[in-house]
Amino acid sequence: MSTPGLSIGVIGGGIGGLSAALSLRAAGFDVHVYEQASALGEVGAGVQVSPNASRILHRLGLGPALARTGVEPLAMHQRRWDDGRTLLRTPLAERLRARFGFPHYQMHRADLLAALAAALPAERIHLGHRLVDVVDHGDVVEARFAGGQRAEVDVLVGADGIHSPVRAALFGPTQPRFTGCVAYRGLVPAERLEHLSLEVTAQIWMGPGRHFVHYFVAGRRLVNFVAVVEQDSWTRESWTDAGDVADALAAFDGWHPQLREILKAVDGTFVWALFDRAPLDRWSSGRVTLLGDACHPMLPFMAQGAAMAIEDGATLAACLADAGAAGSAADPAEALRRYEQLRLPRTARLQAMSAENKTRFHLPDGSDQHQRDALMAAGRTDFSFDAVAWIYEHDAGVL
């Protein structure tokens, strides 16, 4: 069998799974996506699609769809929690396009998911398929689903999130770790906030033990916010639940009036416990591999979680296609090992940087905070233009 004819099953119909399916299909593979839910959907609200991810999506033909609902921010604006003083303002929009060749979008996660799904033939997406077992027979992988459905594929990809059943099947069940942060998330109709004259920027407000992010999505019709608070434990039954706006307001008592106005304008909010996992030593076993949050879940403090999953799919497709071109298509396991060797160091670095930003964003006022602010003013921290170059200039589809 030649590699371009490989059948590939992708477990998970989120952003990572669908974008991987598109990259694999563009490379000539026979791809099917299996999603446990009865309909595709995203619980989250906003997502950042930086040039390293938009480069891939544009190549897949999604440029027009992204432009319809995506918002190109003028800058990444980092500010002090109480007086709103600018700590660092990194230009984006045209300056970013000029340097990296592709745009940075702020999007509603549902809009991005819909664009990805629309680009795949409907018969390639199988809903209501909850994975219960994975059996690698050596020359074929069998995915078994609740209800008795089965699928046999040459390669199986687990794009099924931080609680990945594919990961558990490969390496045994383990629990993700609570990071000591919860996030209140919500969407506010933009007209309710017209009196604030909000800039079209991604604004990050830093303060003691917490931070607040807001930006426009959905063609500037909505303002997305994420309010992150340190918390010792998580006792709810679900890692995402309905939140209380009053609790969020209390957590940001004394913060800049702009943030409190945003919170007061929302109809309702979700509260999420933020979990992560330590980097894995490997992602693959035989003909089975992982991508996205299934293998490298990270805190959202570098705005790279979705981008890394999109990159994973592009590199996976390139490695499998290259294996076929090299004439080593009999066993795709070597291509999967190459994929993880290429991806693991980059994603582990971003996992670590995202975790470090929990400390940097949440420093109490004092000497460490003054030192941080001085470094930011000098442009020597992440999100400054030069500091993100290694992230944004990367082309994950080129080996």
**Catalytic residue numbers?**
215
**Distance in angstroms (rounded) separating the CA atoms of residues 217 and 139:** 45
CA 18 to CA 8: how far, in whole Å?
A: 13
Contact criterion met (CB below 8 Å) for 263 and 309: no
DSSP letters for 80-140: ETTT--EEEEEE-HHHHHHHHSS--EEEEHHHHHHHHHHTS-GGGEE-S--EEEEEE-SS-
d(CA 161, CA 13): 10
Report residue 369: phi and psi, to 5°: -65, -40
Write out the E strands in 125-221: 125-126, 131-136, 141-145, 150-153, 155-158, 177-189, 202-207, 210-217
State the Cα angle at 348 between 343 and 349, rounded to 5°: 105
Q: How many CB atoms lie within 10 A of CB 40?
A: 18
Note the residue count of the chain: 399
Three-class DSSP category at 166: helix
